[in-house]
Structures are given as structure tokens and as C-alpha cells.
């Protein structure tokens, strides 16, 4: 009778993913999407309601006395800005809350332990925020369409600036979620940075109506380029240089992505 030779120290097979762990990225992305999809009354319906309230208030309070803005009906001018505001806020909330909840519940390790590189983590989480932002944009646009005369003047601009804005805020949400220790910190970012920049970006008015120094200052507000470019895609009107704005947003998105990648790589405020 022969005895089988057992190698007690045989090395188990090593699973290899190649240059990109596509399955891991897809799984994390789906997880991020399912987070807000399961709570659609809060994550999709609520932004639609907020946009409708803004539209109703401004249309009733100002719309009757101000017939046109930059050659457009007031509500037509206003609608793209309202849509983009909801995109920006919801993309930020999606990624920041995901990381904040994981840190507070102590299961952030479940995000860091899987075989995902820092770039894969950043990509999957930010794409989840981008998806929520675009879904919110579509929902708000469809709901306000019966009340406002809207079209698509430049498809590429509408898609590009909506995606660039959602991605910018999604990555900012990652940075905020990594930095914050509690939800009050995220609220401070929203109250003292995001909301002021959004309200001063030409959402409710044309920056061309501002005095020359204020108009020049507005060019340094990235939210101005987001809303102006998206409004150009919807109505065909722009207060600034659309191509310059597109280039600026591409550079900002790339820089923020690199910063988020670096923070994941070093585990700043994530690893005990």
C-alpha cells in the first residue's frame, strides 16, 4: 500500500486580478448605488420637491415682475440652475455620508481590506455619487418640464457639465468624509462652502448684470462654470466662456481625484 505524499507547507494558489480589479470596482459601485436606491423617497424624491419649491417661490415672487433674463424667460433661465444645485448637493451627500457612516459604525475596515487599490476605491465611490447626481438631474428635469419651457440646445454641454459637476462634488464628498469626524463637520462644509458658492454662481441671476469687479470674481467660482455650462447646454445661453469652463472643470476633477487617491493610499484619518 502506497502512502500519498502530503506537502504541509504547500502554498495556496494566489488569485490575480490583473492591472484593474474590475469585479471589485463593479461590486463596490453597485453597493454605493444600492445605498441610495433603497431610500429613493429621501435621495431622489426629496431633491425633486426642493427644486419645485424653489421654482414655485421664485416664479410667483419674481417671475411676474421680471419677464426676461438675458433674453430668456425667468423660469427658463432659472430651471437649469435649480437642476444643477440638486445635482451638486446630492453627489456630495452620497459619498460623504457613505464614508462617514462607515467610520462612525466602525466598519470602515470592510472598505479598506478588500483587494482594491486607492484608485479603484476612489473611482467606485465617486462613480456612485456621480450616478446619484445624474439620476437626480433627470428626475428634477422631468418633473419641472410641464411647468417650464425647456429643451436641449447642446447635448454635449448638458451631459458634460452635469457629469463634471456630479463628479467634482462626489470627490469632494470623499475628501469631506475622510476628513470629518462627525456629521456636524460635513454640515459645516455644506453651509459655509457649498451653499455660498452655489448661490453666488449665477443660479438665480445673470452674472453679466453684476458690476465689473464682481463679474471678474465670479470667474474664479467653479460652480459658476458648472451652472453656466449646463445652462448653455439646455438653453443655448452662457454668461462665460463655455470651453474655458469645461477645461477648468476637467483640471479640478483630475486634481481632486489625485488628492483623494493619495489620502486613500496613506490611510489618512482612516487607519487607526
The domains of the chain are located at: 22-266
Q: Sorting pLDDT into bands at 50, 70 and 90, what band is 29?
A: very high
More confident residue, 203 or 34: 34
Mean pLDDT of the chain, nearest integer: 89
The answer to whether the CB of 223 falls within 8 A of the CB of 197 is yes
pLDDT average, residue stretch 181-187: 93
pLDDT average, residue stretch 73-90: 93
Select from 228, 40, 257, 42 the least CA-distant residue to 170: 257
CB atoms within 10 A of CB 48: 17
Q: pLDDT per residue over 85-95, tens digit each?
A: 999 999 999 99
Q: pLDDT per residue over 211-266, tens digit each?
A: 888 888 888 999 999 999 999 999 999 999 999 999 999 999 999 999 999 999 99
Helices (H), ranges, 38-152: 40, 46-58, 74-105, 109-112, 118-144
Q: What angle do CA 176, 182, 184 make, to 5 degrees?
A: 85
pLDDT at 42 over 50: yes
Q: What b/e string do you get for 70-97 counting C-beta neighbours within 10 Å, with b at 16 or more?
A: bebbbbbbbbbbbbbbbbbbbbbbbbbb
Distance CA 92, CA 20 (A): 26
Please tell me the least confidently modeled range out of 16-25, 45-54, 193-202, 234-243. Answer: 16-25
Amino acid at each position: 500500500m502506497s502512502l500519498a505524499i502530503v506537502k504541509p507547507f504547500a502554498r495556496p494558489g494566489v488569485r490575480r486580478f490583473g492591472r484593474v480589479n474590475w469585479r471589485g470596482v463593479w461590486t463596490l459601485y453597485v453597493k454605493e448605488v444600492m445605498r441610495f436606491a433603497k431610500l429613493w423617497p429621501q435621495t431622489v424624491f426629496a431633491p425633486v420637491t426642493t427644486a419645485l419649491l424653489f421654482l414655485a417661490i421664485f416664479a410667483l415672487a419674481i417671475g411676474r415682475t421680471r419677464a426676461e433674463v438675458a433674453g430668456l424667460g425667468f423660469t427658463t433661465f432659472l430651471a437649469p440652475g435649480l437642476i444643477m444645485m440638486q445635482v451638486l448637493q446630492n453627489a456630495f451627500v452620497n459619498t460623504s455620508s457613505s464614508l462617514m457612516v462607515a467610520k462612525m459604525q466602525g466598519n470602515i475596515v470592510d472598505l479598506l481590506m478588500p483587494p482594491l487599490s486607492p484608485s479603484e476605491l476612489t473611482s467606485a465611490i465617486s462613480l456612485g455619487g456621480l450616478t446619484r447626481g445624474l439620476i437626480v438631474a433627470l428626475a428634477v428635469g422631468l418633473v419641472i418640464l410641464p411647468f417650464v419651457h425647456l429643451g436641449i440646445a447642446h447635448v454635449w454641454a448638458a451631459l458634460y457639465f452635469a457629469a463634471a459637476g456630479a463628479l467634482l462634488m462626489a470627490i469632494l464628498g470623499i475628501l469631506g468624509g475622510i476628513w470629518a469626524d462627525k456629521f456636524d463637520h460635513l454640515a459645516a462644509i455644506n453651509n459655509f462652502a457649498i451653499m455660498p458658492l452655489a448661490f453666488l454662481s449665477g443660479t438665480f441671476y445673470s452674472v453679466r448684470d453684476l458690476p465689473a469687479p464682481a463679474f471678474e470674481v465670479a470667474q474664479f467660482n467653479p460652480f459658476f462654470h458648472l451652472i453656466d455650462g449646463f445652462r448653455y447646454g439646455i438653453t443655448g445661453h452662457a454668461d462665460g466662456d463655455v470651453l474655458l469652463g469645461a477645461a477648468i472643470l476637467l483640471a479640478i476633477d483630475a486634481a481632486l481625484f489625485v488628492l483623494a487617491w493619495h489620502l486613500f493610499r496613506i490611510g489618512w484619518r482612516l487607519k487607526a
